[in-house]
Amino acid sequence: MGFLITTLIFLVVGIIASLCVRICCNRGPSTNLLHLTLVITATICCWMMWAIVYIAQMNPLIVPILSETE
């Protein structure tokens, strides 16, 4: 559940970012496409990294074993 919600949040943030970039630097169709590509790539990279770390912790095989001093 948490996974899906956060994925949706990433999606929404990505859409908002591309809209912002389109609004503030609108410089012709080819440049806009470049900006859109960059924003989408950045969003996908960030989401992928978050998703990997999240899924890895969903069903852990190793649990934290505290060290002696704590």
57: contact with another protein by CB under 8 A: yes
Closest CA to 34 of 43, 51, 21: 21
> Considering only residues 4, 23, 24, 66, which one is a binding residue for another protein as defined by CB under 8 A?
66
For residues 23 and 57, which CB has a smaller minimum distance to another protein in the complex? Answer: 57
For every residue of 39-64, DSSP letters joined together read: HHHHHHHHHHHHHHHHHHTTS-SS--
Query: Which residues contact another protein (rule: CB under 8 A)?
Result: 2, 6, 29-31, 33-34, 37-38, 41-42, 45-46, 48-50, 52-68, 70
